[in-house]
Amino acid sequence: MQRFVYTSSNSVVMGGQNIAGGDETLPYTDRFNDLYTETKVVAERFVLAQNGVDGMLTCAIRPSGIWGNGDQTMFRKLFESVLKGHVKVLVGRKSARLDNSYVHNLIHGFILAAAHLVPDGTAPGQAYFINDAEPINMFEFARPVLEACGQRWPKMRISGPAVRWVMTGWQRLHFRFGFPAPLLEPLAVERLYLDNYFSIAKARRDLGYEPLFTTQQALTECLPYYVSLFEQMKNEARAEKTAATVKP
């Protein structure tokens, strides 16, 4: 193997602080409240340390929330919460923003990174934030998708830190005593009430990266997929409920 582009995450620098337009000079977080963040930090450090070893060139791409056609993670989790009746309030201030990585923009970033991962290139040994460069409040980002699925949007807002405190305690009970898993992981709650968005200036400079799709263009392209996914999940939930009620 001569070239290796690692899929990292923006969470490698997130330690519970507000980050507005952060760049790659931010240090790795040393606060590990979840295995995802801890393993991403360990893996990215290892991959970048291997750059130049036995002629192999490496770099790391740090996406934000990945979304688009085929998404079975970000919006699927939201849909599951909606169908279970868990989305009753909005968490945190409306001004809190995060960024996302539309799948085609992210793939474009990977291709550019691989193209620049050559001897004397700009990418070897480097990490890059790759996102849509349009930070937005998570609930405002999700609103058009949920409304297209025929769901009413909550209006009441509650304190983000308070929700995080509750979910942290719940998570401890889950791991220590086997309680059911919390509705939201503490890290997910932080993304709702803290600024956590990142600059793509380094990727622009080194890789020539520019998002191929705006958020609105991407939404127009993938909204039919999300509506179809929601209907599928709704029908599956209805079938499971029916099966449960007719059990002897």
Q: Which of 73, 48, 65 is nearest to 130 (CA)?
A: 65
- Determine which one of 6, 28, 36, 128 is catalytic: 36
Task: List, in sequence order, every residue forming a beta bridge with 22; answer none if it has no partner.
Answer: 198
- The domain made up of 3-236 has a fold known as Rossmann fold (3.40.50)
**Single-letter code of the amino acid located at 172:** R
Q: Where are the domains of the chain?
A: 3-236
Please confirm, yes or no, whether 225 is among the known catalytic residues: no
Q: What is the tens place of the pLDDT at every residue in 67-77?
A: 999 999 999 99
Show Cβ contacts of residue 212 under 8 Å, excluding neighbours closer than 6 positions: 104, 105, 108
Question: pLDDT tens, position by position, for the chain (248 residues)?
Answer: 899 999 999 999 999 999 999 999 999 999 987 889 999 999 999 999 999 999 999 999 999 999 999 999 999 999 999 999 999 999 999 999 999 999 999 999 999 999 999 999 999 999 999 999 999 999 999 999 999 999 998 989 999 999 999 999 999 999 999 999 998 888 889 989 999 999 999 999 999 999 999 999 999 999 999 999 999 999 999 998 888 776 66
Phi, psi of 47 (to 5 degrees): -60, -45
